Amino acid sequence: MEKKQFEECKRRLLEEKAKILERYLAKEETQQRLEEESKEPRDWEDIGQMTYTEELLDNLSQIEINTLKEIDYALKKIEAGTYGICESCGEEIAYERLCAIPWTRHCARCAEEVEKESGTYLPSYGFEPMITEDIEIEREDLGES
């Protein structure tokens, strides 16, 4: 991988880290506001909505914390000179994949295997364009003019 590509990946990692931290701060403010609102007596619907929102924010923050850890790990790999190398097979990870998921540890082939082993694999069914010429539409409200 070229130095320019490494710099682009590093920039994207730092940008994503900043976005996550910004969302985390906004989440903290939201939770603080919810705590203030929960001190006032409310009806059951409001309490249910606040509980749901708090649980959702907690789940999102756990996903983002994991992503932050992966981003920090990828930044350390850049410093160590091992970024962009698949941790499973040792091959170089395609630049296109690094652009899509800059904190990835595996090439696409190995990532698929890891996902199968962990039970998180979702097969890609691809996209087949619909051929519209074969579709006949009959409408009674349209007549020949």
How far apart CA 88 and CA 100 sit, in angstroms, is 19
Q: Which CATH class is domain 3-123?
A: mainly alpha
* Rounded mean pLDDT, 95-119: 90
For residue 92, the cross-strand partners are: 85
- Please report the pLDDT score of residue 139 as a whole number: 62
Q: Render the burial of 91-106: b for 16+ CB within 10 Å, e for the rest.
A: eebeeebbeebbbbbb
Q: Which among 102, 141, 77, 134 is positioned nearest to 20, based on CA atoms?
A: 102
Other C-beta atoms lying within 10 Å of the C-beta of residue 123? 8
End-to-end CA distance of the chain: 63
- Please list the alpha-helical segments (H only) found in 39-128: 44-80, 95-100, 108-118
What integer is the mean pLDDT of 3-13? 91
| pTM, entire model | 0.63
The average confidence (pLDDT) of the chain is 78
pLDDT at 11: 94
